[in-house]
Structure 1
Amino acid sequence: MKKVTKIDSRAVNPIGENEAPKLRVAAYCRVSTDSDEQKESLETQIRHYESYIKANPAWKFAGVYSDEGVTGTKKEKRPELLRMIADCEDGRIDYIVTKSISRFARNTADCLELVRKLQKRGIFIYFEKENLDTGTMESEFMLSILSGLAAEESASISQNNKWSIQRRFQNGTYKITCPPYGYDSIDGILVINEREAKVVRFIFSEILSGKGTPQIAKELNRRGRKGKMGGQWTSTSIRGMVINEKYTGDAVFQKTYTDSNFNHRRNDGEKEKYLIRNHHEPIVSREDFEAAQAVIAQHRREKGIKPKQTKYLNRYPFSGKIICEHCGGTFKRRTHAYGRHKIAWCCGTHIKDIKKCPVKYIPESALECAFVTMMNKLIFANQAVLKPLLFSLRGVNADDGMERIGELEKSLEENRRQQEMLVSLLSKGYLEPAVYKKSNNELLREAERIQHQKDSISRLLNCDSQYLTEVSELLQYCTKAKMLREFDGALFSRFVERIHVYEREKIGFEMKCGVTLKERLCDWSER
């Protein structure tokens, strides 16, 4: 049986080719690994979409955007998707075709955010597998459910992969596919690359002779030696090599991990690590390796740098604490030679490539003003905000909390089943779109409320003693303090963990006591 795809009437030119411009249509496709089979699959998808779009006389081919060998859990990890969005914003694309919601985004928030951003510009997306066009009335409600299911599928796959990898960590069968400089990986076994190994031995000998990592990097660059990816040597890359235990023949697994939000983090004790002695042939002896660690530690002490701390982390109150919610980058301090805002903070990703992050700079004065406003609100309403939070922390019981979390998880599961039932009834024609819309809205609001309760209880159970202390100290300060008249950097560092930038005019102060307080920045463009 031939498959017939119904295309929304907006996609067809009702007037005629000579009387109206064609619809500029682009396609997006993605594969999650860089294996040969997946590469062939990606090439097949690209050819399919190119011929599919060109076959429609009312369409004009606007290109195929494809991400290869990347995760679908976060949009910022897919450069071609971001480039497509940028081209949409530049007015080069009118309509997008993609295989399925799970190929487009496995993160519900990202999916809905991108869909809504494009809808505001009159650009809609057609998902082939689900036969869903975001231009129809009920699409967003179905999209929220289906993308939520895709997110659950992604989380399930992630958990299965983690379980499998941990078992290989434990029984010593895990194969290192990305070897450090100085080694090649042959069938998962690390084999010394003698040409690179000479550089490794040179680095360790220079360290033991008392030279600093910047001097060693400068010397290697002068000699024309290339790094792992053919790039220049830096102080950071040298330091990373000197502390890598693999050069002694040992291997420590699970140095990093992926959290529940798919963020890659360094393992500082949150997860179990696995050490395998004599895993492969060493390049340097354990004695030289340990002596090099002592030299590095001595250099840190001389410069006053503590472990896990960058040299300039505390140079300014905002340093390392402003996070871009659009791309996940960290804001950096910039000094402007001209204009009203001499000092500003800008996303590091935006600085490197404006196409990957559109968030523009924020004046430092606007951030300072927002902090003063937020603290004055707490000072004014501390009894109404902080005191109830303190009482709730003191009343947390671990057994009761875990029981309550279990009940909330059951409620979420039941809510999800009801959402699936609504989708099924709607697709079979047993439910009117208006009834579906109302019922689904109620379920989504209920699910959001339940999830919020679950997250709050989990946060309290995991860090209740820490949060209790922080809330107590913040309440004590706000009870006695007078309204702030100017920014206090020490006060900011004392109570604020980090700043989240949601938009250029909207930020959130993540307090050390576990709550995030949102503030709108003043419109400095008109001042």
Structure 2
Amino acid sequence: MTVKKISVNKKVCKKRVCAYIRVSTTNGSQLDSLENQKQYFENLYSNREDIEFIGVYYDRGISGSKDKRPRFQAMLEDCRAGKIDVIHTKSIARFARNTVTVLEISRELKAIGIDIFFEEQHIHTLSSEGEVMLSVLASIAEDELRSMSGNQRWAFQKKFQRGELVINTKRFLGYDVDENGSLIVNPEEALIVREIFSLYLEGNGTHRIAKQLNEQGVATVTGAKWHDTTIRHMLSNEKYKGSVLLQKYFHDGVNGPKKLNKGQLEQYLIEDNHEAIISKADWQAVQDKLSSRKWQQGRNKTYRFTGLLKCQHCGSTLKRQVSYKKKIVWCCSKYIKEGKVACQGMRVPEVDISNWTIASPVTVIERNKDGKKYYSYSGQESTDQCSSSGQEENQGSCLLSGIHRPRRTAIKL
């Protein structure tokens, strides 16, 4: 019996490898470095028969302490989809500078059999000693970041002390920056700024000014809609009188939340730094008016129906207003801010609902009958119960519906 040897062509299972690169700035030298690193990885894997090189994922100008890096997240999604077996990166610091992030991601990928290779530290996360080494080195990378952040803050502090500006003019109207970094007036935007200050000094509130600008189609600096908060920020911006207050805000911790500086750090005021759009007298008059309104709002923060009445059309809270005839009305807050395009609005005279006793938010329902407006609210015993300014004082409410009249008669008898 003759035995023939049969050769079997075994299919080689290639590992799918990708590379990740991160550069923290977008200047020329860093961009050159990025291209060199991409070329390095492409040359490294181009002739490997046992590896299928997926490509290079890279992020530019984003800190390694942040998880929300677009290409970094895209790479992780491809890993979860089973498209990648190995991530090759130069070092832990290039991958992430947050110990928690490094460990969480490495553990997640390890659970689905994906290896991360850190070339500089020569660590494979799938190896038995990988996580221990990774914990130590990631902590060192995080300490490095904290030290760098402290150095940057120190550098900014010294700039502030020297009176050097660190300003983003894309966040407020009225000014551009010249080649020397100085603020120069933008004539078109300055007209909008002057109009806002003028309207406020004439007696218009921030809600009304925002509504008027939206109706006129005037764009904000970011292209968004105008809001009362936007107007208030503009009115209190000292740059419009030619001054600059440095270090208004600060970041609490490494990549921490941005907070308003209320004395935690030193501030520096530079007077007559640039050309003013608003005179100092008008700017101060606006500040006095803002302070006065803020004080009044602090004294009268709550009223009987504050936060309890909702608009039947859009569900927004009704806000208390005093009309020009000194009558108190409750108006839809959304209508006040955004106008008819957002809600048709409603105006509820307080005298018509003065007999209501409510402890939790209700929706106000408005009905027209014989040319008069009647008001009720959701959850009342009868939808026919209502209040009207045309009723006699000895009537506590409107007539009950027919189904309740026999009970009322019985009580009278």
User: Retained in 2: the 8 A contact 1:176–1:190?
Assistant: no
What SS is found at the alignment partner of 2:275?
A: coil
Amino acid at match of 1:69: G
Instruction: Return the offset for 1:161.
Output: 1.5
Match of 1:293 among 287, 302, 315: 287
- The answer as to 2:9 corresponding to 1:26 is no
Match of 2:203 among 202, 210, 214: 210
- The answer as to 2:229 corresponding to 1:236 is yes
Report 1:220-259 matches (<5 A): 220-259=213-252
Could you give the per-residue CA deviations for residues 426-449 of structure 1, whole angstroms, max 9, x where no partner exists?
xxxxxxxxxxxxxxxxxxxxxxxx
Match of 1:284 among 248, 272, 278: 278
User: Retained in 1: the 8 A contact 2:206–2:232?
Assistant: yes
Amino acid at match of 1:184: D
Q: Which has the higher mean CA deviation after the structures are superposed, 252-261 or 134-143?
A: 252-261
User: Retained in 2: the 8 A contact 1:175–1:189?
Assistant: no
Q: Partners in 2 of 1:258 and 1:203 — Cα distance?
A: 30
User: Retained in 2: the 8 A contact 1:177–1:188?
Assistant: no
Q: Partners in 2 of 1:50 and 1:234 — Cα distance?
A: 51
Q: Which has the higher mean CA deviation after the structures are superposed, 106-115 or 175-184?
A: 175-184
Could you give the per-residue CA deviations for residues 247-301 of structure 1, whole angstroms, max 9, x where no partner exists?
2111111122223343033222211111111122221122222333344445545
Q: Partners in 1 of 2:285 and 2:230 — Cα distance?
A: 19
- The answer as to 2:71 corresponding to 1:80 is yes
User: Retained in 1: the 8 A contact 2:175–2:186?
Assistant: yes
For the structure 1 residues 173 and 19, does the alpha-carbon distance in structure 2 shift closer, same or farther, using more than 3 Å as the test?
A: closer
Instruction: Return the offset for 1:102.
Output: 0.8
User: Retained in 1: the 8 A contact 2:244–2:271?
Assistant: yes
| Aligned residues: CA RMSD | 3.1
Q: Partners in 1 of 2:115 and 2:236 — Cα distance?
A: 50
Q: Partners in 1 of 2:58 and 2:299 — Cα distance?
A: 43
What SS is found at the alignment partner of 2:148?
A: helix
Q: Partners in 2 of 1:44 and 1:228 — Cα distance?
A: 38
What SS is found at the alignment partner of 1:184?
A: strand
For the structure 1 residues 233 and 95, does the alpha-carbon distance in structure 2 shift closer, same or farther, using more than 3 Å as the test?
A: farther
- The answer as to 2:59 corresponding to 1:67 is yes
Q: Which residue in the other structure is 1:434 paired with?
A: none
Q: Partners in 2 of 1:188 and 1:155 — Cα distance?
A: 29
- The answer as to 2:111 corresponding to 1:120 is yes
Q: What is the TM-score with the length of structure 2 in the denominator? A: 0.62
Could you give the per-residue CA deviations for residues 50-90 of structure 1, whole angstroms, max 9, x where no partner exists?
554554333344443322212222324x3332333233333
Instruction: Return the offset for 1:116.
Output: 1.4
What SS is found at the alignment partner of 2:213?
A: helix
Report 1:156-167 matches (<5 A): 156-167=147-158
For the structure 1 residues 192 and 100, does the alpha-carbon distance in structure 2 shift closer, same or farther, using more than 3 Å as the test?
A: same
For the structure 1 residues 65 and 236, does the alpha-carbon distance in structure 2 shift closer, same or farther, using more than 3 Å as the test?
A: farther
For the structure 1 residues 138 and 294, does the alpha-carbon distance in structure 2 shift closer, same or farther, using more than 3 Å as the test?
A: same
For the structure 1 residues 278 and 88, does the alpha-carbon distance in structure 2 shift closer, same or farther, using more than 3 Å as the test?
A: same
User: Retained in 2: the 8 A contact 1:165–1:174?
Assistant: no
Structure (1/2) with the larger helix percentage = 1
Q: Partners in 2 of 1:136 and 1:306 — Cα distance?
A: 66
For the structure 1 residues 165 and 28, does the alpha-carbon distance in structure 2 shift closer, same or farther, using more than 3 Å as the test?
A: same
Q: Partners in 2 of 1:143 and 1:306 — Cα distance?
A: 57
User: Retained in 1: the 8 A contact 2:149–2:254?
Assistant: no
Q: What is the TM-score with the length of structure 1 in the denominator? A: 0.50
Relative contact order, higher structure (CA 8 A, sep 6+): 1
What SS is found at the alignment partner of 1:66?
A: strand
Amino acid at match of 1:99: K
User: Retained in 2: the 8 A contact 1:176–1:189?
Assistant: no
- The answer as to 2:127 corresponding to 1:136 is yes
Q: Partners in 1 of 2:216 and 2:45 — Cα distance?
A: 52
User: Retained in 1: the 8 A contact 2:194–2:278?
Assistant: yes
Q: Partners in 2 of 1:306 and 1:108 — Cα distance?
A: 49
For the structure 1 residues 276 and 23, does the alpha-carbon distance in structure 2 shift closer, same or farther, using more than 3 Å as the test?
A: same
Instruction: Return the offset for 1:45.
Output: 3.5
User: Retained in 1: the 8 A contact 2:12–2:50?
Assistant: no
User: Retained in 1: the 8 A contact 2:169–2:175?
Assistant: no
Q: Which residue in the other structure is 1:56 paired with?
A: 48
Amino acid at match of 1:41: S
For the structure 1 residues 59 and 212, does the alpha-carbon distance in structure 2 shift closer, same or farther, using more than 3 Å as the test?
A: farther
What SS is found at the alignment partner of 1:172?
A: coil
Q: Which residue in the other structure is 1:153 paired with?
A: 144
Larger of the two Rg values belongs to structure? 2
Q: Partners in 2 of 1:107 and 1:91 — Cα distance?
A: 25
Gaps of 5+ in 1: 1-14, 308-313, 317-527
Q: Partners in 1 of 2:216 and 2:35 — Cα distance?
A: 41
What SS is found at the alignment partner of 2:204?
A: coil
User: Retained in 2: the 8 A contact 1:249–1:280?
Assistant: yes
- The answer as to 2:95 corresponding to 1:104 is yes
Q: Which residue in the other structure is 1:477 paired with?
A: none
Q: Which residue in the other structure is 2:184 paired with?
A: 191
Q: Which has the higher mean CA deviation after the structures are superposed, 264-273 or 30-39?
A: 30-39
Q: Partners in 1 of 2:59 and 2:300 — Cα distance?
A: 39
Amino acid at match of 2:283: F
Q: Partners in 2 of 1:236 and 1:52 — Cα distance?
A: 55
What SS is found at the alignment partner of 2:240?
A: helix
Could you give the per-residue CA deviations for residues 356-386 of structure 1, whole angstroms, max 9, x where no partner exists?
xxxxxxxxxxxxxxxxxxxxxxxxxxxxxxx
Instruction: Return the offset for 1:181.
Output: 2.4
Percentage of pairs with the same residue: 41
Q: Partners in 1 of 2:230 and 2:31 — Cα distance?
A: 31
Q: Which residue in the other structure is 2:378 paired with?
A: none
Q: Partners in 1 of 2:21 and 2:192 — Cα distance?
A: 41
Q: Partners in 2 of 1:208 and 1:248 — Cα distance?
A: 15
Amino acid at match of 1:75: D
For the structure 1 residues 139 and 192, does the alpha-carbon distance in structure 2 shift closer, same or farther, using more than 3 Å as the test?
A: same
Amino acid at match of 2:60: E
Report 1:414-425 matches (<5 A): none
Amino acid at match of 2:235: V
Could you give the per-residue CA deviations for residues 299-331 of structure 1, whole angstroms, max 9, x where no partner exists?
545656999xxxxxx989xxxxxxxxxxxxxxx
Report 1:365-380 matches (<5 A): none
